[in-house]
Amino acid sequence: MTSPSQAATNADSLTPEPAAGSGGPDAKGTPALAGRTPRQLAWLRFKRDRVGIICAIVVVFFILVAAAAPLISALYGKNAYDLYGQDDGLLNSYGLPIAPNGGISGQHWFGIEPQLGRDVFMLLVYGIRTSLLIALAVTVLAVGVGVLFGLTQGYLGGRTDYFMGRFSDFMLSFPQQLFFIAFSPVAISLFVGVGDPESWWVRPLVLIGVQFLLGWMSIGRLVRAQVLSLREREFVEAARISGASSWRIIRKELLPNIWSTILVQSTLMLPVFVTAEAGLSFLGVGILPPTPDWGLMFQTGATFYKSDITFMFFPGIAMVIFVVAFNLLGDSVRDALDPKTLR
C-alpha cells in the first residue's frame, strides 16, 4: 500500500507536463546519467530520424508559403487575380498559353493558366493558403471536440459512454463525401437568403463546419479507448483518492498521457482534410472561382488536360509532396513519442 503523498509524487513523475521546463539543465550534464523528461527523449529520438526531419522541413515550408503568400506575391511582383495571359497577349485564340510547356518563362515561373491567364505560381501559393487555412481550422475544431468527447466518454464511462458511443457510431454511418456535397447548399442557405449575393466568408465557413461535423469521431474514439485504459491505472486512482477534482485528473493525469495520440492524429488528419476540401472544390461545391484554391486548380487542369497538361502537374505534384511529407512526419512523430511501436 502506498500512502497518498507517495502516490501523488509517483503520478507526477509519470506525467511529462510539469517537469518539462525544469528538466533542461539536467540534460546538459554527463550524458551517461542525464535525467531526461519524456519530451526531451522524444525530441532526441526524432532528431536522429532523418526522414522525419526532412518531412518536418517540407511541412514547415508549406506552412510558411501559405502564411507568407502576400509577401511572396510582393517579391514576385504578381498576384493571383490579374489576368496576365490576356493582358500581355500570352494566350492564343483558344485560350491556351502560346509559349511551350504551359507558358513557363522567367516572367511566369510555373506558366500561366489556360483561359483566364492568371499566373500559376501565384495561384498555387494562394491556393495552398486557402486550402491549408480551411483544413487547419477543421483540424483544430475536430481535434478539440473529438478529444473533449472522447475524454468525457472514457472518463465517465457507464451509460454515458454507451450513449455517446452510439451517437458517434451514428455520425460515422453517414456517407461523408456525399453528406458534404448534399448538405453544403442547405448550410449555405442558412446564411444567405434566396437571391441574396453570397459574402466571401460563407463558403469557407460552411466548408469548415460541414467537414468538422463529420470529422471529429475518429479521434474521439481513439481518445476514449486510451482514457478507458488509463482510468484504471494506479496513478489516476491515487489522484482520485487524494481528493483531486475530475477536472484536475483530466488535465494533469489523463491529458499528458494522451498528448502523443492527439499530436500524431492531428498530423495525419490535416492532409486528409486538405484533400477532402480540394475534392469538394474540384467537384464544384467547395470554394468558388475566382478565389484561388488548390482543388479549383485541379478542376481547371481536368478541363484542359488534353491541350495543356503541364498545368496539372504543379498543383498535383505539390499535393503529392505535401501529403507524403505529412504522412511520413506523422509516422516519425509516433515513433519518436512511443518507442514501443514498431512499424
- Which residues here bind other proteins, judged by CB under 8 A? 169-170, 172-179, 181-186, 189-190, 193-195, 271, 275, 278-279, 282-285, 295, 298-299, 301-302, 305-306, 309, 312, 315-316, 319-320, 323-324, 327-328, 343
Ramachandran area for residue 292 (φ above 0: left; ψ -120 to 50: alpha; else beta): beta
Q: How far is the CB of 300 from other proteins (least distance, A)?
A: 11
The 10 Å CB-count burial string (b at 16+, else e) for 193-223 is eeeeeeeeeebbbbbbbbbbbbbbbbbbbbb
Q: How far is the CB of 175 from other proteins (least distance, A)?
A: 5
Q: How far is the CB of 183 from other proteins (least distance, A)?
A: 6
Q: How far is the CB of 75 from other proteins (least distance, A)?
A: 28
What is the rounded distance in angstroms from the CA atom of residue 262 to the CA atom of residue 228?
A: 16
Nearer to other proteins, 40 or 267 (CB): 267
Nearer to other proteins, 103 or 330 (CB): 330
The string of DSSP letters for 63-130 reads HHHHHTHHHHHHHHT--SSS-HHHHTT-B-TTS-BSSHHHH--SSSTT-B-TTT--BHHHHHHHHHHH
Nearest CA-CA partner of 317 in 294, 299, 296, 300: 294
Nearer to other proteins, 57 or 186 (CB): 186
What is the rounded distance in angstroms from the CA atom of residue 298 to the CA atom of residue 185?
A: 22
Nearer to other proteins, 94 or 170 (CB): 170
Nearer to other proteins, 28 or 340 (CB): 340
Helix (H, G, I), strand (E, B) or coil at 200: coil
Residue with cell 468558388: 288
Q: How far is the CB of 176 from other proteins (least distance, A)?
A: 6
Nearer to other proteins, 9 or 307 (CB): 307
Q: How far is the CB of 89 from other proteins (least distance, A)?
A: 27
